[in-house]
């Protein structure tokens, strides 16, 4: 299976891009969704987290209290490291399983941390949805009802734009309309189908 890694910072339009690829018949595996699935009640990862942090890491209905967990790992770097060492291999394994089960001409792995983690090793090509920082700030502030300062902190915590641009195989600049984004995706889709044909001949 030919795999494309789709990435981009907050407010870049990753979700709009992945939805349009899906409408073209391309199966999508979303790393953020997988990360939530592996800590659902009954999953071994959640049991390990409860053993480590205690029962108060759960909500009243026995689900992971994400706000509490975030607070704990931000307060202590060692706890963040412990959690990443637990979850990253489990998430990677589940991503691989879902990609292998995908039915389509090729598959897309949507991952905001494609370049920050080893998930980039799972893909044949990477596609960056790129926007200028000012556009990111405006879109994310409008969408999430967060302050510019909060959004700027999230942007600052991610890989710098120039590093992502240097690492990406393909780039779509998404600073215009949704229709313009979709036109660019159609072009990339045709290219990826050509890549699949080349791989299969």
pTM for this entry: 0.89
pLDDT at 151: 84
Residue 200 lies in a domain: no
Assess whether 90 and 110 both reside in one domain. Answer: no
Give pLDDT tens digits for 13-49: 999 999 999 999 999 999 999 999 999 999 999 999 9
pLDDT at 14: 95
Please say which residue of 101, 125, 143 terminates a domain: 101
Assess whether 49 and 130 both reside in one domain. Answer: no
According to DSSP, the residues that pair with 125 across neighbouring strands are 4
Residue 133 lies in a domain: yes
Assess whether 132 and 179 both reside in one domain. Answer: yes
* Number of domains, the chain: 2
Give pLDDT tens digits for 112-130: 989 988 899 999 999 999 9
With H, G, I as helix, E, B as strand and everything else as coil, classify residue 3. Answer: strand
pLDDT at 38: 96
Distance CA 101, CA 166 (A): 31
Pairing of strands 3-7, 107-110: parallel
Host H or E run for residue 108: strand 107-110
Please say which residue of 101, 128, 153 terminates a domain: 101
pLDDT at 70: 86
Q: What tokens does 153 get?
A: 């902190």
pLDDT at 158: 84
Interaxial angle between packed helices 133-144 and 148-157, expressed in degrees from 0 to 180 and rounded to the nearest 10: 120
pLDDT at 152: 85
Segments in the chain below pLDDT 70 = none
Assess whether 122 and 154 both reside in one domain. Answer: yes
CB count within 10 Å of CB 8 equals 28
Residue 95 lies in a domain: yes
CB 185 within 8 A of CB 172: yes
Residue 115 neighbours by CB under 8 Å, 6+ apart: 7, 126, 159, 163, 164, 167
Assess whether 69 and 154 both reside in one domain. Answer: no
Please say which residue of 68, 101, 134 terminates a domain: 101
Q: What is the CATH number of the domain that holds 161?
A: 3.40.50.300
pLDDT at 201: 79
Q: Which domain holds residue 91?
A: 35-101
């Amino acid at each position: 299976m030919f795999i494309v890694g789709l990435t981009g910072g907050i407010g870049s339009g990753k979700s709009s891009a992945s939805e349009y690829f899906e409408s073209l018949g391309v199966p999508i595996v979303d790393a953020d969704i997988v990360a939530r699935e592996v800590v659902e009640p009954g999953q071994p990862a959640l049991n390990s987290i409860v053993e480590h942090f205690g029962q108060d890491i759960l909500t009243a209905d026995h689900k992971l209290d994400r706000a509490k967990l975030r607070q704990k790992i931000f307060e202590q770097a060692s706890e963040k490291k412990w959690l990443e060492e637990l979850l990253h291999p489990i998430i990677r394994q589940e991503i691989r399983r879902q990609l292998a089960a995908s039915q389509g001409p090729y598959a897309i792995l949507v991952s905001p941390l494609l370049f920050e983690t080893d998930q980039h090793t799972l893909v044949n090509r990477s596609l960056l949805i790129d926007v200028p920082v000012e556009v990111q700030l405006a879109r994310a502030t409008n969408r999430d009802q967060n302050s510019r300062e909060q959004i700027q902190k999230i942007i600052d915590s991610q890989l710098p734009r120039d590093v992502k641009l240097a690492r990406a195989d393909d780039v779509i600049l998404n600073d215009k309309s949704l229709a313009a984004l979709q036109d660019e995706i159609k072009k990339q889709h045709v290219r990826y189908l050509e890549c699949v044909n080349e791989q299969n001949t």
